A and B are shown apart, each in its own frame.
Chain A
Amino acid sequence: MKKNLIEVKNLEKYFETSAGLFSRKKSTIKAVDGISFEIPFGESLGLVGQSGCGKTTTARALCLLDEKTSGEINFYNSDTKNMESIDNLNDEELKSFRRNIQMIFQDPYESLNPRWNIKDIILEPLNIHNIGSLNEREDAVVEILKTVGLTPPENYLPRYPHELSGGQRQRVSIARTLIMKPKFVVCDEPTSMLDVSIRISIMDLMLNLAKDLEVSYLYITHDLAVARYMCNRIAVMFNGKIVEIAETEELLKNPVHPYTKRLISSIPVPDPTYERVVYDIDFTELENIISTDTKNIGMVDIGNEHFVATHDVKGIL
């Protein structure tokens, strides 16, 4: 039995918008609409879907950057050896929870403070959480730079983000994240801004670190080919809901939900002799079904831990 690091149950995040400046009418956008998943220790889950489907909102809610509307987030507490809901945490526990859960952002050009040198950027989380003495912190920075492959560290410490290439910057982001020794890292398209040739080395680095440091990832991407390389399991999201979730190879070989099929058949194949056949679906119809079909909410296990949303999708085939 695999031990779960994090369990999410019926997570919802709604945004209220008003129709106009003087209008009293309010409408709700259901950015994340009742999603559930769990991530075992050391495993990574890919969250894929089109832009605007709620991937990043899910990530922000998990990292407590935005308050969730409802639902449960349970995290393994290493002191009590139990799953604990983050709602019941007091301030102090919350702080240590935040230490265990970190985030890597999409854009390495914008997520690093341009006025700080690399040393300060990586030191910041240690300073905030008051970990170790000043010397210990500096040693930790040197150590982590070696881990992420920025060697020799002395060359990088005094430099500023603009002096580094995109790949190097993303390595700094990863170093800043991992210096807290988190158990869980949320990655929001960390390689989509990078060149193909550099992308693989960043992904390899993250995979190796996951093995060495026992980190679990929630890996957000719109590219299934990237998710295949990075993740043990993949969850496919559409309009705020997870429509299919399965082990990576199982999902790619036997997709069941029409949206998953559409997504897989959209990825260009690096082989000019391959005839890609697009599985075409009617998106408006699918949106209608997913937002109105309230009777059949839920996921069904079709074997091999492969779950598919139970709403009636016959209309869009």
Chain B
Amino acid sequence: MDENILEVKNLNMHYETISGDVAAVKDITFHVKKGESFGLVGESGCGKTSVAMSLVQLQADNAKISSGSITLDGQELIGLSENELRSVRWDGISIVFQGAMNAWNPVIKIGEQIREAIREHYPNNTKLQNIEKIKELFEMVGLSETIIDRFPHELSGGMKQRAVIALALSCNPKLVIADEPTTALDVVIQDQILNEIKKVQDLLGLSLIYISHDIAVIAEMTERMAVMYAGRIVESGPTKDIFANPRHSYTRALLESTPSVVGDKVKLNSLDGEPPSLIDEEFGCSFSPRCSNPTENCKSGKSEMGLIEVAEDHFADKCCVECG
């Protein structure tokens, strides 16, 4: 059971722009176990979505994966041809894109759009088989069968998002990446969608990568997680351990800035400043300008960034661990 479905090792990806290379993903290493949900959290622009896009290699044209390895269930994905990748996408890894509920084609019925994806991967299925499959998927995500014949504009935001999840599950993927699936939704709808995802995950034993900027959602949804800052993972490990004993100052700052409705009202702390530009050469710890108690060592740039194990399966960036 402890087998890894996905292993990412030392992945580096940059965008080539006129003003220079933007290093969006720096030396990322993590793994996702079979049937586990893995969270990726960090502020906007930290590279969460870039990681997701690299996994399915759907990144923009100017994005280049310069080094690293991605193995899905033993198969190396880096270096595959476009044709080979097509069979990995959706069959191997499917993805619920950020804002995908607004990406439905407005003039094609929902059912037809899902059938299109299934047809591509199972060309021998009959139409009836495919429709049965869609009905099954809809039941799983809590949609009524009649939605198959509806157009996107006839559905509410929550229903469209459910249909997107059904689409992501349509080819029985080994791994689903959910990129901010509830960000544009209301709290009550968000709660319903989160429940739906949990239910489907239990039912199918799905492996899931859950991307969010909301650490509260990550706390509820995931068993293991990684915190990203400026293109790097600065802390990773079991979700409970990270919340109980955060070792990186950025993780602590995130936890201290998240309001909650339960427990006593606590004073929240803001994290001032802005993340560094990813074009510039890294100089020491990239978080040190915003760190609450940086030492001379952090600022001097003497310490290089890199994860070290602080407890079993719990990794944190060297700099913060050494500072205490």
Contact = CB atoms under 8 A, between A and B. Distances in A.
Interface of A: 50-51, 165, 195-201, 203-204, 222-226, 228-229, 249, 252, 262-274, 276, 278
Nearest to A221: B187
Given A196-B215, A204-B270, A273 B262 contact: no
B268 A200 contact: yes
B253 A272 contact: no
Interface of B: 43-44, 186-191, 194-195, 213-217, 219-220, 239-240, 243-244, 253-255, 257-262, 265, 268-272, 274
A50 B186 CA distance: 6
Given A50-B186, A222-B186, A262-B188, A269 B213 contact: no
A201 B261 contact: no
The 8 A-B pairs with the shortest beta carbon distances in the complex, nearest first, are: A201-B270, A197-B271, A268-B216, A200-B270, A266-B191, A225-B259, A270-B216, A272-B219
A269 B194 CA distance: 13
B216 A269 contact: yes
Contacts of B254: 196-197
Contacts of A269: 216, 219-220, 260-262
A204 B43 CA distance: 19
Contacts of B268: 200, 203, 229
B188 A50 contact: yes
6 contacts: A197-B271, A200-B268, A267-B187, A268-B190, A268-B191, A278-B191
B207 to A, nearest CB: 19
Nearest to B272: A201
B259 A268 contact: no
A196 B258 contact: yes
A229 B265 CA distance: 8
Contact of A195 (B213, B239, B240, B262): B213
B219 A270 contact: yes
Most A C-beta atoms less than 10 A away, residue of B214, B254, B261: B261
B195 A268 contact: no
Nearest to B255: A270
Contacts of A249: 265
A225 B186 contact: no
Contacts of B255: 270
Contacts of B213: 195-196
A268 B265 contact: no
Contacts of A224: 187, 261
A272 B189 CA distance: 21
A48 to B, nearest CB: 9
Contacts of A264: 261
A270 B43 contact: no
A225 B243 contact: no
Given A262-B188, A268-B216, A270-B215, A197 B259 contact: no
A181 B216 CA distance: 36
Contacts of B189: 50
Contacts of A278: 191, 195
Given A269-B261, A270-B215, 9 more contacts: A50-B187, A50-B188, A196-B43, A196-B215, A224-B187, A229-B259, A269-B219, A271-B260, A271-B262
Nearest to A197: B271
B261 A225 contact: yes
A52 to B, nearest CB: 9
Contacts of B187: 50, 222-224, 263, 266-267
